[in-house]
Structure 1
Amino acid sequence: MTKPTMQQAPVAIIGGTGLTELAGLEILGESTPETPWGEISAPLVHGRLNGQDVVFLARHGNPHRIPPHEVNYRANIWALKECGVETVIAVNAVGGMHSAMGPAEVVIPDQIIDYTWGRASTFFEGELEEVTHIDFSYPYTDAVRRVLVDAARAAAVPHCDFGTYAATQGPRLETAAEIVRLERDGCHLVGMTGMPEAALAAELKMNYACLALVVNWAAGKTDHIITMEEIEAAIAKGMSGVKTILENSVVALGTLTPQFS
């Protein structure tokens, strides 16, 4: 594809390649910016949705080939910032633990707990002039969450407007005992890509929110093992709601100012 005529865009959507199939989306082109942190997962896809400039990034590559613990989160977030992105919507496939968060349900979480390890998780390392600590009390930007929730309500998309996301290491799924532990910790959802993505966005002073699609009950929540067939069925059923929310919220998202500006 050709180089886009407008490289700057205030809104980015991180998720799967299917998210570029939104109604009313005009694809303008692709770019592959260089970063100090290495290569990004896939070329950035630049487009215009309902008159709003937007950038898409396939977190796991195109085709889907990068496991969650090997995603170059630093390069991805850095590249989006360099493209002028101020607000990031992260679409995540997750497992459900809460009774209201079953397969094909959409969840807009408000908290996260990081159980990952060994991932490059900060821009603030190496030969620094000073140590930097960011406030991460509320990892998801409330103004962005409100826009997503309002869009879901207006379109009558079934959703939950709360939830604590447990970010686990992967690529394996969790044991039933681990899910019991996560629930005891206060978690409602479990996924493998929520961190360090959210914290890196905060370090670069970007708005960030998660639009999660539950694709399976977490381990031990049913009497059968988790299969790819049930995950794919939940994605097929629930992705239309995710797309509707994105289509109906992108214009409002483009008006938001960075949370730390």
Structure 2
Amino acid sequence: MARKIAVIGGSGVYDIDGLQDAEWKTVHSPWGTPSDQVLTGTLDGTAMVFLPRHGRGHVHSPSTVPYRANIDVLKRLGATDIVSVSACGSFREELAPGDFVVIDQFIDRTFAREKSFFGTGCVAHVSVAHPTCPRLSGACLSAGLDAGITMHDGGTYLAMEGPQFSSLAESRLYRDVWGCDVIGMTNMPEAKLAREAELCYASVAMITDYDSWHPDHGAVDITDIVATLKGNADKARALVTRLPALLGAHVPCSDGCDRALDYAILTGPDARDPEVVAKLDAVAGRVL
């Protein structure tokens, strides 16, 4: 299997620079309509796929993003690795606006989203103890440093439902009691679904502002946030263009991301719902 890198672009990131043979394609999924068409092409000889998480023009809120359809179409197109880039708020003084954080843990506080491909008719449980791929995350860290971005290795991402931002009390809870580092609205259930689809997943948090815990939070002008968002998008594209050279040829994942379903499916073959199994053809075809 050849390596194919998929990039899911968050707020402000709606394309990839330098793609050869770039083409927007419509890809259908049994899990619904994805956020947008998918941009395909090659970069330094490596196949690439790009999907704007909120759609071009930013038409989806965090709660309405079709997460299952998005992951399904990326797997359906042959993606082996997913790099998520997302705008986030910071809980740490040292994680400043304009910095990037390579996430390694999540706390999922979302509640209005479908979080699994599996359920009645075909039950499965995958481990997300370590929800990101260390190899892919390391490549993102190296790519960002090479691009001159201030990078931070490791951090806990609090995924909130939104679309409102957190209250001061919530912000203090997440920062001071739970020890989270950044806050965002979109990496859950995305990371869980990527694991169910046996895809390596890395999350790069692009800091736009300090959350409401910060004493200067109220003094930040929206124009400053928009300027940071634009600068972060440029940095994200610079990071992504360096990934093919760092990742090289595809090899089996040393951390087992591509074998997450080996022992996960509990429903016996005779008891599985054929309609559910048919919908899982891309996500779980290897084991079904």
**Equivalents in 1 of 2:16, 2:140: separation in Å?**
19
User: Is this contact kept in 2: 1:100–1:160, CA < 8 A?
Assistant: no
**1:241 CA displacement:** 2.5
**Equivalents in 2 of 1:251, 1:33: separation in Å?**
27
**1:237 CA displacement:** 2.7
**Equivalents in 1 of 2:20, 2:9: separation in Å?**
18
**Equivalents in 2 of 1:21, 1:13: separation in Å?**
9
Instruction: Give the aligned partner of residue 141 of structure 1.
Output: 133
Is residue 98 from structure 1 mapped to residue 92 from structure 2 by the alignment? yes
Instruction: Give the aligned partner of residue 175 of structure 1.
Output: 167
Range 164-173 or range 236-245, more displaced: 236-245
Give unpaired runs (5+ residues) of structure 2. 260-288
Instruction: Give the aligned partner of residue 196 of structure 2.
Output: 203
Paired-residue identity, %: 31
- Which residue among 185, 201, 213 is the counterpart of 2:206? 213
User: Is this contact kept in 1: 2:91–2:213, CA < 8 A?
Assistant: no
- Which residue among 254, 258, 261 is the counterpart of 1:260? 258
Is residue 86 from structure 1 mapped to residue 80 from structure 2 by the alignment? yes
**1:21 CA displacement:** 4.3
SS in 2 for 1:122: coil
| Amino acid corresponding to residue 258 of structure 2 in structure 1 | F
For residues 51-70 of structure 1, what are the structure 2 equivalents within 5 Å? 51-70=45-64
User: Is this contact kept in 2: 1:9–1:55, CA < 8 A?
Assistant: no
User: Is this contact kept in 2: 1:87–1:254, CA < 8 A?
Assistant: no
**1:204 CA displacement:** 0.7
**Equivalents in 2 of 1:73, 1:205: separation in Å?**
15
> Which segments of structure 1 move beyond 6 Å, counting only runs of 4 or more?
none
Range 187-196 or range 12-21, more displaced: 12-21
Cα deviation digits, residues 103-149 of structure 1 (max 9, x gap): 11111111111010021000011322xx3110111111000011111
**1:19 CA displacement:** 4.6
For residues 21-60 of structure 1, what are the structure 2 equivalents within 5 Å? 21-22=16-17, 24-60=18-54
User: Is this contact kept in 2: 1:68–1:193, CA < 8 A?
Assistant: yes
**1:102 CA displacement:** 1.4
Instruction: Give the aligned partner of residue 266 of structure 2.
Output: none
SS in 2 for 1:68: coil
| Amino acid corresponding to residue 115 of structure 2 in structure 1 | S
**Equivalents in 1 of 2:36, 2:232: separation in Å?**
24
| Amino acid corresponding to residue 70 of structure 1 in structure 2 | T
Range 202-211 or range 9-18, more displaced: 9-18
SS in 2 for 1:28: strand
User: Is this contact kept in 2: 1:169–1:192, CA < 8 A?
Assistant: yes
SS in 2 for 1:45: strand
**1:253 CA displacement:** 3.4
| Amino acid corresponding to residue 20 of structure 1 in structure 2 | D
User: Is this contact kept in 1: 2:13–2:233, CA < 8 A?
Assistant: no
The structure having more radius of gyration, on CA atoms, is 2
Instruction: Give the aligned partner of residue 164 of structure 1.
Output: 156
**Equivalents in 2 of 1:50, 1:193: separation in Å?**
29
User: Is this contact kept in 1: 2:16–2:50, CA < 8 A?
Assistant: no
**Equivalents in 2 of 1:57, 1:79: separation in Å?**
10
**1:233 CA displacement:** 1.3
**1:251 CA displacement:** 3.4
TM-score by length of 2: 0.82
User: Is this contact kept in 2: 1:123–1:203, CA < 8 A?
Assistant: yes
**1:150 CA displacement:** 1.7
Instruction: Give the aligned partner of residue 4 of structure 1.
Output: none
TM-score by length of 1: 0.90
Instruction: Say how many residue pairs are matched.
Output: 251
